[in-house]
Structure 1
Amino acid sequence: MKKLFLILLTAALLHGCSSTPEAVDQPAPEQPPASSEPPAQQPNQPQTPAPEQEPPKEEQPAAEKTYGNDIFQKVTVAKTGEDTFEIKGQARVFEAVFQYVVEDGHNELTEGTVNTSAGAPEWGDFTHTVKVKKAEPNSTLMLILFEVSAKDGSRQHELIIPLPEK
Structure 2
Amino acid sequence: MKKVSMLLLTVFLLQGCTSQSSPTPPADTEKPPVAAPPQTPTPAPQQPPATTQPEPAPEQKPGDQQPPDSYSNDIFKDVTVKKTGTDTFEVTGKAQVFEGVVSYVVEDGHNELTKGSFQTSAGAPAWGDFSHTINVKKAEANSTLTLILFETSMKDGSRRMELIVPLPEK
TM-score (norm 1): 0.61
| Distance of aligned partners of 1:118 and 1:63 in 2 relative to their CA distance in 1, 3 Å threshold | same
- How far 1:151 moved relative to its partner? 1.1
User: Aligned AA for 2:141?
Assistant: P
**Equivalent residue, structure 2, for 1:74:** 78
Separation of aligned partners in 2, 1:63 and 1:154 = 28
Q: How does 1:95-106 map to 2 (within 5 A)?
A: 95-106=99-110
User: Aligned AA for 2:74?
Assistant: D
**Equivalent residue, structure 2, for 1:91:** 95
Give RMSD over aligned pairs.
Answer: 1.3
**Equivalent residue, structure 2, for 1:128:** 132
- Larger radius of gyration, structure 1 or 2? 1
| Distance of aligned partners of 1:151 and 1:63 in 2 relative to their CA distance in 1, 3 Å threshold | closer
Runs (4+) of structure 1 moved beyond 2 Å?
Answer: none
Q: How many residues align?
A: 105
Structure 2 residues not aligned, in runs of 5+: 1-65
| Distance of aligned partners of 1:136 and 1:63 in 2 relative to their CA distance in 1, 3 Å threshold | closer
TM-score (norm 2): 0.60
- How far 1:123 moved relative to its partner? 0.2
Separation of aligned partners in 1, 2:118 and 2:76 = 12
Which of 60, 69, 94 is residue 65 of structure 1 equivalent to? 69
- How far 1:92 moved relative to its partner? 0.2
Deviations 1:37-73 (A, max 9, x none): xxxxxxxxxxxxxxxxxxxxxxxxx797100100000
Task: Give the match's secondary structure for 1:153.
Answer: coil
Percent identity at matched positions? 70
| 1:156 correspondence with 2:160 | yes
Task: Give the match's secondary structure for 2:123.
Answer: coil
**Equivalent residue, structure 2, for 1:16:** none
